Amino acid sequence: MKRFGKIATVLATCMLVASPALAAEKVRWKLAMSWSSTLTPLAAAAPKLADMVSKMSGGNFEIRVEGAEKHKAALGILDMVKGGQYEMGHSASYYWKGKDISSVFFTTVPFGMTSNEQYAWFYYGDGQTLQDKAFEKFDVLSYPGGNTGVQMGGWFKKEIASVDDLKGLKMRIPGVAGEIFAKLGVAVTNIPPGELYTSLDRGTIDALEWVGPGMDIKMGFHKIAPYYYTGWHEPGAEMHYLINKKAFEQLSPEYQAILTTAIKAVTADQTAMNFDANARAWAQIKAEYPDIKIMSFPPAVLKEMKKANDEVMSDYAAKDPLFKEIWENQKAYMADVREWTRMSDYLYIKTVEALQE
């Protein structure tokens, strides 16, 4: 945190020296988050962004951050930013797949890209261009806003030994993964973060997927559902900063540069923070929570998930030209970069582990 603050201060000094005119313009914005203000590390990002923008503008561009406990619309961030109630939002695009199914690609899709692959696609492939194309009709701009990395497969009250164990299960899981589970007989729902524990405790749902150990342990899900499954459905879930397009266009070029520069810096910081939180919490689980049963879905179940995923994606591609364009683009990019992921990260870890045997 201290290092991040120093970076913000240095950037602030550079911006003010470069443009003394910034001191004359006062801008006051509001930003709505999909999560409560206490839900760290997710909720830590937007306040850092606001602080960085303030410092870089000499205090003249201020952003007030409000959590879901304030606006009461955790899954309605797109509508609020589009409507101008908030100039910005911090959310995940697959929350509004009902408005545009192609939005799922900009968070994550099952069996898709890792966080490194996805950032490369956003910044050096066609990802940002395709995202701009998808969000144009909403009159909002969208930028990557921090990645959770590979998410865990969820908390269950019972072991999932076969596909039959999924049938009739009530589960909170968003995005395409929810549709995959629905095909396998699960009653799927999407519940705002603040209602997850209560829903699981009261039996409204039997299982849920949230993020990873860094946030899950704090929520207390393990007290009710001790089976914790490894991931398959969200290999690199990206959050997003939404900006009302009209509000952005009314900013001076200097403020536009400040905002987009700060977003990119905080996005990198958020991704690192998520990784650190997950790693620390995973060690805590192993040391302090012997009753949590770490499981992986059986190969037969995963094969059925992959089959259902291919059916869901193909159906959407047949109906929606933009969905098809993005899906084909993302698959082609992943095919280009996946070999390097395997040759670098995957084989490096295998090499080091082999030396420790």
State yes or no: 282 annotated in a binding site: no
Which segments of the chain have a pLDDT < 70? 1-24
Phi, psi (rounded to 5 degrees) for 80? -70, -35
pLDDT at 17: 47
Count Cβ atoms below 10 Å from residue 124 Cβ, excluding itself: 11
Cβ-defined contacts of 61-64 (< 8 Å, 24+): 61/25, 61/27, 61/29, 61/255, 61/258, 61/259, 62/27, 62/28, 62/29, 63/29, 63/30, 63/31, 63/87, 63/88, 64/28, 64/29, 64/30, 64/31
Tens digits of per-residue pLDDT, 181-203? 999 999 999 898 889 999 999 99
Side chain identity at residue 142, one-letter code? S
As a whole number, the mean pLDDT across the chain is 94
Check the annotation: does 179 bind a ligand. Answer: no
151-233+291-318 placed in CATH 3.40.190.10: yes
Please, what's the b/e burial string for 308-327 (b: 16 or more CB within 10 A of its CB; e: otherwise)? bbeebbeebbeeeebbbbbb
Of the candidates 304, 319, 313, the residue with the CA atom closest to the CA atom of residue 331: 313
- Residue 193: per-residue pLDDT: 87
- Name the amino acid, one letter, at 48: K
Closest CA to 82 of 242, 208, 196: 242
Residue type, 83: G
Q: How many CB atoms lie within 10 A of CB 72?
A: 9
The structure tokens listed for 135 are 């969000």
Tell me the domain boundaries of the chain: 2-147+235-277, 151-233+291-318
CATH 3.40.190.170 for domain 2-147+235-277, yes or no, is yes
Do 2-147+235-277 and 151-233+291-318 share a fold? yes
151 is in an annotated binding site: yes
Q: Residue 118, annotated ligand binder?
A: no
Q: Is 275 exposed, middle or buried (0-12, 13-18, 19+ CB in 10 A)?
A: middle
Is 234 known as a binding-site position?
yes
